[in-house]
């Protein structure tokens, strides 16, 4: 219960706000026990930061900020990305005042009018794998970082500290935060091929990712089912390979999405999965596919790796993609390649005979040539784990990252022993649903929970939640993702010892409320209540 004396002393517009005050008390007053009190089930941890910072020290005292009368000021370096972020967080902080009233009226040290943003080094323009996301935040209104990316993360933290009080001011704790991520790769993958997801929802996904300090949007744009990118070079790919003409992304839309992400320090990594999972390419370009025979007669299998024209085609296509996706990495896919169709195709068999090769060489024919072309285009590469586990003789370009999605105790151990960098996705498949808040299972996943040396563990660059979209469409993508992905985000950002779901529960409750009043269509985190 709050101290009524403090409330009355520090409350200017008492009458007007008395009702709101009562609410805030009621809402704070929720308790367990057999006869339920009214109000929400849980008391959210007011103004707590999600994901949990590396180090935070509070004095227990507070400052205040008037949401209608404060300025974010760049006190050192400046650049368009920073100006954009300050405008954005000015809005976010104003929105905080509309948030669910939670803090009791609190005595404050003083009102802060200027929030200062101290960027110590020149802005970079593109987020990248090794970007510096370290920052300091002081509750008296200072954010300091060496890089623009650290400033982004610091502004997010600063905005989360602010909680509205009954008098309309925002409360901010006298606190000191030093923060940096545990892992540098913290991703969310969207499969927009099995179900199409509109640009509007993708932008909302990115906004929500920024609120969780996620920094990679991995975009799976094609699969057997559909080809969703409107290529200028080969418009027929989506004209024939998409479910419908309007279920595609134009180059302009891709640019908008990539730019929206960049402004939030989120990389966008495109994936056009090959050489399998490519039936939709075959709708317009059956000539790059393999005609199956025997049991699979009449069907089209993986890309034909024995024809020069296959690679000419791919090179031309990926040259276009190179210009739209500025990130250094491209995801090649290479998952679930079944060789039966290659092995039954008479032309391919003739080719092998003429070259004195056997079937075992076919994946290498494809991968060696294709990855060389992709390297020449200036990309580093990501692949699903099978690419590394099933083709042991493949010499992957330096820095190729494997994405682990099953049997990780063995696979992460083996791949890191082979000195591959990896990211973890096992048990972070978001379509896996259970009754309840259903975020705890994601929270408990630990990417380093395999046997291996410290050197091996350093090869784990991070992880990624995956929105495979068999059961996800336009209408459930947001509430399926939020707040469940927040659990993944904290696991990847915060220190390993932050593993208690009990400690995390009131913080994710608060964070979910925050996301909702900021416009994210999130489902409930825990139980009944406002959010």
Cβ(383)–Cβ(400) below 8 Å: yes
Which of 2, 18, 41, 174 binds a second copy (CB under 8 A)? It is 41
Cα separation, 201 vs 211, in Å, equals 15
CB of 152 to a second copy, least distance (A): 26
**Could you tell me which of 219, 202, 166 has the C-alpha nearest to residue 9?**
166
Which of 67, 339, 399, 479 binds a second copy (CB under 8 A)? It is 479
Strands (E), 149-284: 163-164, 170-179, 185-191, 216-222, 267-274
Token couple for 403: 């994405």
374 versus 465: smaller Cβ distance to a second copy: 465
**Could you tell me which of 440, 491, 514 has the C-alpha nearest to residue 157?**
514
Sole window of 128-136, 141-149, 444-452, 518-526 interacting with a second copy (rule: CB under 8 A) = 518-526
Tell which positions 86-145 bind a second copy, by CB under 8 A: 100-101
Q: Positive or negative CA dihedral for 509, 510, 515, 520?
A: positive
434 binds a second copy (CB under 8 A): yes
305 binds a second copy (CB under 8 A): no
CB of 79 to a second copy, least distance (A): 35
CB of 7 to a second copy, least distance (A): 17
Site string for a second copy, 164-203 (x = CB under 8 A): -----------------------------xxxx-------
Token couple for 489: 């985000």
Site string for a second copy, 238-267 (x = CB under 8 A): -xxx-xxx-x--------------------
362 binds a second copy (CB under 8 A): no
359 binds a second copy (CB under 8 A): no
Q: Positive or negative CA dihedral for 436, 442, 444, 450?
A: positive
CB of 521 to a second copy, least distance (A): 4
531 binds a second copy (CB under 8 A): yes
187-218: burial string, b at 16+ Cβ within 10 Å, e else: bbbbbbbbbbbbbebbebbbbbbbbbbbbbbb
Decide: residue 272, CB within 10 A, 0-12 exposed, 13-18 middle, 19+ buried.
Answer: buried
Does the bond joining 483 to the residue before it have cis omega, within 30 degrees of 0? yes
Q: Determine the straight-line distance between the first and last CA of the chain, rounded to whole angstroms.
A: 22
Sole window of 57-65, 66-74, 219-227, 449-457 interacting with a second copy (rule: CB under 8 A) = 219-227
Is 490 considered catalytic here? no
Site string for a second copy, 311-340 (x = CB under 8 A): ---------------------------x-x
Cα separation, 470 vs 241, in Å, equals 17
Which of 10, 138, 178, 296 binds a second copy (CB under 8 A)? It is 296
Sole window of 136-144, 160-168, 256-264, 427-435 interacting with a second copy (rule: CB under 8 A) = 427-435
Tell which positions 263-282 bind a second copy, by CB under 8 A: 279-280, 282
23 binds a second copy (CB under 8 A): yes
465 versus 522: smaller Cβ distance to a second copy: 522
524 binds a second copy (CB under 8 A): yes
Q: Alpha-carbon Rg of the chain, whole angstroms?
A: 26
CB of 455 to a second copy, least distance (A): 37
Q: Give the DSSP H or E segment for 403.
A: strand 401-404
SS3 84: helix
- The site for a second copy, by CB under 8 A, has a size of 72
CB of 284 to a second copy, least distance (A): 10
Q: Which phi and psi (to 5°) does residue 410 adopt?
A: -85, -45
Which of 53, 104, 301, 402 binds a second copy (CB under 8 A)? It is 301
254 versus 430: smaller Cβ distance to a second copy: 430
Give me the residues paired with residue 100 across strands: none
CB of 531 to a second copy, least distance (A): 7
Cα separation, 271 vs 303, in Å, equals 16
Q: Which phi and psi (to 5°) does residue 379 adopt?
A: -100, 145
Count of beta carbons in the 10 Å neighbourhood of residue 359 = 13
208 binds a second copy (CB under 8 A): no
SS3 165: coil
Token couple for 377: 């285009």
CB of 399 to a second copy, least distance (A): 32
Cα separation, 118 vs 76, in Å, equals 5
517 binds a second copy (CB under 8 A): no
Tell which positions 436-475 bind a second copy, by CB under 8 A: 436-438, 469-475
230 binds a second copy (CB under 8 A): no
33 binds a second copy (CB under 8 A): yes
Kindly name the residue from 336, 446, 470, 495 that is annotated as catalytic. 336
Tell which positions 338-357 bind a second copy, by CB under 8 A: 338, 340-341
* CA distances, 203 to each of 219, 256, 422, 485 (Å): 12, 9, 27, 16
258 versus 508: smaller Cβ distance to a second copy: 508
Cα separation, 403 vs 425, in Å, equals 7
18 binds a second copy (CB under 8 A): no
34 binds a second copy (CB under 8 A): yes
CB of 30 to a second copy, least distance (A): 9
161 versus 289: smaller Cβ distance to a second copy: 289
Cβ(119)–Cβ(83) below 8 Å: no
Q: Identify the DSSP state of 22.
A: H
Q: Annotated catalytic sites, by residue?
A: 336
């Amino acid at each position: 219960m709050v101290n009524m004396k403090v409330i009355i002393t520090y409350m200017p517009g008492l009458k007007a706000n008395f009702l709101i005050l009562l609410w805030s008390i009621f809402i704070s007053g929720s308790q367990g026990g057999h006869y339920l009190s009214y109000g929400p089930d849980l008391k959210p941890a007011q103004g707590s930061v999600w994901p949990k910072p590396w180090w935070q020290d509070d004095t227990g005292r507070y400052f205040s900020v008037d949401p209608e009368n404060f300025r974010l000021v760049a006190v050192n370096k400046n650049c368009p990305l920073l100006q954009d972020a300050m405008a954005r967080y000015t809005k976010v902080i104003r929105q905080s005042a509309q948030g669910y009233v939670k803090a009791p009226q609190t005595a404050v040290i003083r009102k802060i009018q200027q929030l200062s943003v101290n960027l110590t080094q020149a802005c970079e323009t593109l987020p990248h794998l090794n970007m510096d996301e370290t920052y300091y935040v002081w509750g008296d209104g200072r954010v300091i970082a060496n890089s623009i990316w650290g400033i982004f993360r610091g502004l997010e933290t600063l905005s989360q500290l602010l909680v509205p009080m009954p008098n309309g001011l925002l409360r901010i704790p006298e606190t000191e935060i030093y923060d940096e991520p545990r892992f540098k790769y913290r991703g969310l993958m969207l499969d927009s091929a099995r179900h199409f997801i509109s640009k509007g929802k993708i932008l909302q996904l990115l906004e929500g990712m920024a609120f969780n300090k996620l920094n990679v949007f991995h975009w799976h744009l094609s699969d057997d089912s559909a080809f969703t990118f409107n290529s200028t070079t080969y418009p027929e790919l989506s004209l024939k390979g998409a479910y419908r003409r309007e279920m595609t992304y134009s180059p302009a839309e891709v640019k908008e999405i990539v730019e929206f992400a960049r402004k939030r320090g989120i990389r966008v990594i495109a994936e056009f999965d090959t050489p399998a999972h490519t039936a939709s390419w075959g709708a317009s370009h059956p000539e790059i596919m393999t005609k199956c025979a025997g049991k699979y007669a009449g069907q089209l299998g993986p890309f034909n790796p024995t024809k020069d024209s296959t690679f000419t085609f791919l090179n031309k296509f990926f040259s276009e993609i190179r210009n739209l996706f500025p990130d250094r990495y491209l995801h090649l896919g290479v998952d679930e390649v079944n060789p039966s169709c290659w092995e039954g195709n008479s032309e391919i068999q003739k080719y092998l005979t003429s070259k004195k090769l056997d079937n075992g060489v076919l994946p290498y024919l494809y991968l060696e040539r294709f990855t060389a072309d992709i390297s020449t285009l200036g990309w580093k590469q990501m692949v699903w784990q099978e690419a590394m586990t099933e083709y042991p003789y493949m010499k992957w370009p330096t820095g190729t990252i494997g994405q682990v999605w099953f049997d990780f105790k063995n696979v992460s151990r083996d791949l890191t022993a082979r000195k591959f960098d990896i990211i973890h996705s096992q048990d972070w498949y978001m379509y896996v649903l259970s009754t309840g808040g259903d975020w705890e299972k994601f929270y408990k996943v630990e990417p380093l929970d395999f046997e291996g040396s410290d050197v091996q563990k350093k090869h784990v660059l991070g992880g990624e939640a995956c929105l495979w979209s068999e059961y996800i469409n336009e209408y459930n993508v947001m509430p399926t993702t939020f707040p469940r992905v927040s659990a993944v985000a904290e696991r990847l950002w915060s220190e390993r010892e932050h593993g208690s779901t009990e400690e995390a529960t009131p913080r994710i409750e608060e964070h979910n409320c925050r996301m909702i009043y900021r416009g994210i269509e999130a489902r409930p985190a825990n139980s009944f209540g406002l959010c």
